[in-house]
Amino acid sequence: MNSKPNLKEKLAQAVEAHKNVFDNISRQEMIRHTVENREAIVAQSGALATWTPPESTGRSPKDTVVVKRVISEANFDWTSPNNVPVDEETFDMIFEEALGYLNEKEKVYITDRVVGADSKYALPVKVVSSHALYGVFADNMFRPTPENINESCFFNDGYTVLHLPYNKLDASKYNGRLRKMPDGKASDMVVAMDVDRKIGVIVGSAYCGSIKKMLFTVMNYLLPFEGILPLHCSANEGANGDSALLLGLSGTGKTTLSADPTRALLGDDEHGWSNDGIANFENGCYAKMIDINPAKEPDIYDAVMHHDDYLNHGSIVENAMIYPDGKFDYYDDRLTPNSRASFLLTNLKNIKVSSVSGHPKTILFLTADAYGVLPPVSKLDPDQAMLWFLMGYTSKLAGTETGVTEPQATFSRFFGQPFMPLNPHVYASMLGEKMEKFDSQVYLINTGWSGGGYGVGKRMDINLTRKMVNAALNGDLNNVEYDYDQLFHVLVPKSCPGVPAEILTPKNTWADKAAYDKQAKMLAEKFSSAFDKNYGDKNINESVVKMCPGK
């Protein structure tokens, strides 16, 4: 493909020359090494508790870069702030520096797994790390390599991650090449991807999610070329084998609503939609733990906090407060509001072990509209669905971030913009094609406010939301009459089993009708402005453009 050095071969040579390599040791051995190396301590429950430096408590989007080269640059949307380009020479410099650090390490850990439950497009992944903890994380999150991988998989060459979480780049080498810090020097942290050579390198980021999200981004780049639509969503399956997808940003209820005792969970975050159906990418979950309530989210809480011998547990709790008795305090966010837990899917009670299912009968887009003007449930035709998929709308609430004093409209394309590197029309058109081919119904579920915006109205009752979700899933909403919302371009049902008809039209719930009209028009204008900013120069079908609120 190119004349650049074969970095995978260089890495293999470095590993072969190293005196202390632990190559795909057992899960229990990896856990034991993690504790003996003092990379984590054992909590009261048996879970592994670990903490990262302050600069590594979450992803670092500005330090996440991708190699830009002539053969593939046209595939990327370089107008997206999440596609930060770096040249091949800089990537190779980073890799060589990381190799030097690896050579100095006392121990090296290798974990071979695959990303993807469908072996026909499972991506073989080799994680080479200086720390055992990340081998446990890879074992939690990714799947054992299937025996038939060489016969069936598109990606036999696989992807390699070189991971040095606690080293720092020599910033003096990279001035003008990597992000500039406030002091004028280059950043000493990087999460770098070369999708053409299928290799990545992480230096200075100890956040476990950096590995997961790198691989998710790589899958989102590779799969559309094989006719597979990658989606940032949860998925579950009913008793009749009907699958459903739930797409939504943080705070919209994706995890809560996908955890349904009558439906088996395939996965909670990342899936692919092929001509065979839906398949989870992962083998585990990476759940936010801040403020987790065991009464409201018992399955996730129990999956992490069940008591077991630490060698048989393996759940990783990252950056949560812990007391000397080994108990966590998930309500204490002094370390970070982004405390996380990595655990096996099999720790959950109601799952489909294969994590694959047929084509989705129903797709739910979740939003939490803090302006209180969107219907609690509405039906979307293919053009409307592609528009809302492109926009990925929800609200950021007052108090969630410093300086946020009132609700703010948030738009994240495909409900996961940072991880969708291709040009946007690729994902949107694939969704439309698959909806039509497999006759999938799409609904917009607003889990936000009713009777007024945030501070005036109330959050939609979760029990009513569940009834609307169930009505969408079991087909009840196929047999009701709809009104067309001229402003937001959605179809609003006149009735829904078990739900008071008056709440289905949001204006009916507002005491001040004029205030509703003003608020609704304001949000529609935000949609229109965001669409023009992000897609004004993109190849978007006119029929989809017309479905944008405010147009």
108-115: strand order across its sheet: 21-23, 108-115, 123-129, 159-164, 199-203, 190-194, 64-67, 84-86
Catalytically annotated residues: 59, 213, 232, 250, 254-255, 269, 340
Nearest to 167 by CA among 223, 210, 104, 226: 104
Phi, psi of 340 (to 5 degrees): -135, 160
Strands 482-485 and 490-493: antiparallel
Using CA atoms, how far apart are residues 454 and 370, in angstroms rounded to an integer? 5
What letter does residue 187 receive in the DSSP assignment? P
Nearest to 230 by CA among 140, 139, 121: 121
Using CA atoms, how far apart are residues 230 and 278, in angstroms rounded to an integer? 10
Residue type at 453 in one-letter notation: G
Using CA atoms, how far apart are residues 341 and 301, in angstroms rounded to an integer? 10
103 membership: H or E segment, kind and range: helix 88-104
Using CA atoms, how far apart are residues 246 and 232, in angstroms rounded to an integer? 9
Question: Which residue is it, tokens 């050095």?
Answer: 5
Using CA atoms, how far apart are residues 355 and 258, in angstroms rounded to an integer? 14
Size of the chain in residues: 551
Nearest to 232 by CA among 280, 172, 171: 280
Nearest to 86 by CA among 65, 63, 72: 65
Using CA atoms, how far apart are residues 49 and 41, in angstroms rounded to an integer? 5
The sign of the torsion formed by the CA atoms of 487, 493, 494, 495 equals negative
Strands 108-115 and 21-23: parallel
Q: Find how far residue 235's CA is from the centre of its chain.
A: 13
Query: C-alpha distances in angstroms, 484 versus 93, 460, 547?
Result: 57, 22, 12
Using CA atoms, how far apart are residues 147 and 168, in angstroms rounded to an integer? 38
Give the burial class of 545: count Cβ atoms within 10 A of its Cβ; 0-12 exposed, 13-18 middle, 19 or more buried.
middle
Q: Which residues pair with 126 in a beta bridge?
A: 112, 160
What letter does residue 143 receive in the DSSP assignment? B
The sign of the torsion formed by the CA atoms of 384, 389, 390, 393 equals positive
Are the beta carbons of 139 and 114 closer than 8 angstroms?
no
What is the SS3 assignment for 321? strand
Nearest to 68 by CA among 93, 82, 88: 88
